Copies of this chain bind each other. A is one copy, B any other.
Amino acid sequence: MRIAILGATGLVGQEMIKTLEDRNFPVTEFIPLASSKSAGRVVEFRGSQFEVKEVSQDVFEGVEIALFSAGADASKKWAPIAVSNGAVVIDNSSAWRMDPEVPLVVPEVNPQDIRQHRGIIANPNCATIQALVALAPLHRRFRLEYFSAVTFQSVSGTGKEALAELDDSISSILKGNTFEPHVYPLPIGFNVLPHIGDIDETGVSEEEWKMLNESRKILHHHRLQVSCTTVRVPVRRGHSEAIVAQFEDQVTLEEAYALLSDASGVVVMSENKYITPLQAAESDFVYVGRLRYDMGLPRALSMWVVSDNLRKGAALNAVQIAELLVSDLGALK
């Protein structure tokens, strides 16, 4: 396959390259792309060096699959051009996710939806992906009615500059100095920020709307109710989520364990164990820990869900979608 990666020098782009290597994806041609700012830099793929080309009208010619991770504005602009050149775009930004003509896919949850694509397939938001990988196997059996998710999201979700700002803010505060942030509105070191994306006039942040709207779309479940607060924490890599899931049917812990043990992409921890983001970094799995009957709601389970936001939350999910396309060539139109 001739594969282009737009945003090849970013955190997710780099992770996409690594994931293509790790999973031995059938790449015959590798075309790293970026905006003019990063064009000319060199990236490595399978031991060879490639110069990053500037994205342009004709660079997508002959490309079969284009993995995009360059932000919503770049996706809005370049995805239609890539598609008109014959590529299928797997887009990691929020640009196309809620477009009714664009499938929004978590391969473990709704792989069949990729067949509806018209050139663009959207990768869901990192926080949504890991929640649904954990919830979908339970939803299929017990029918999810409501869930609440409070997230502990790592700084790598914001990008490279944010990672540098995390270390800088921590170093400043350790020395007893104050710290003037540039990426976040407030220092992230030794702090937590309940603010991911803009907060609208209803008081809900963009990241919180994504949890609701993307979950409904991916599960094809438009009556699903969701409470959500999304919070940035001083962790480098790996998102954690405290989830309470309430079902229409009576759920049992025994059956939930069994379903999650069999579920693809999930590791369920027994006996009150859990995984922390420091442990989940660079893992492909969604870890479900502290699975228990919820104290407060009937027909409900509580759980602690951790996954690497750059892997399953972004690059891996995108590459898995590409693998579905390859294994089901009809879907490549």
A: residues with CB less than 8 A from B are: 146-148, 150, 152, 167, 170-171, 174, 186-187, 190-195, 199, 202-204, 208, 212, 225-229, 231, 233-236, 240, 242, 244, 272, 274, 276-279, 289-297, 300, 302, 304
Contacts and interface: CB of A to CB of B under 8 A. Distances in A.
A150 B227 CA distance: 12
B240 A192 contact: yes
SS class of chain A's interface: helix, strand, loop or mixed?
Answer: mixed
A110 to B, nearest CB: 21
A54 to B, nearest CB: 34
26 contacts: A146-B296, A146-B297, A148-B244, A150-B150, A152-B231, A167-B174, A170-B170, A186-B276, A186-B278, A186-B279, A187-B278, A192-B277, A193-B276, A194-B240, A194-B304, A203-B290, A203-B291, A203-B292, A204-B295, A212-B296, A227-B244, A227-B294, A227-B296, A227-B302, A228-B296, A234-B234
Contacts of A147: 296
A250 B132 CA distance: 31
Contacts of A225: 295-297
Nearest to A174: B167
A181 B212 CA distance: 38
Most buried by B among A147, A279, A292: A292
A277 B274 CA distance: 25
Chain copies in complex:
2
Contacts of A231: 152, 240, 242
B229 A302 contact: yes
A294 B171 CA distance: 37
B228 A295 contact: yes
Nearest to A242: B229
A233 B242 CA distance: 13
A155 to B, nearest CB: 9
B192 A292 contact: no
A202 B228 CA distance: 25
A267 to B, nearest CB: 16
A229 B199 contact: no
Contacts of A228: 295-296
A194 to B, nearest CB: 5
B186 A295 contact: no
A300 B226 CA distance: 12
Q: Which 10 pairs across A and B sit closest by C-beta, in order of nearness?
A: A203-B292, A227-B296, A150-B150, A229-B242, A191-B278, A225-B296, A199-B272, A150-B242, A194-B304, A226-B296
A68 to B, nearest CB: 29
Contact of A295 (B226, B235, B274, B292): B226
Contacts of A195: 274
Most buried by B among A191, A234, A291: A191
A320 B199 CA distance: 36
A190 B226 contact: no
A216 to B, nearest CB: 11
Contacts of A203: 272, 290-293, 302
A293 B202 contact: yes
Given A186-B276, A227-B148, A279-B186, A292 B191 contact: no
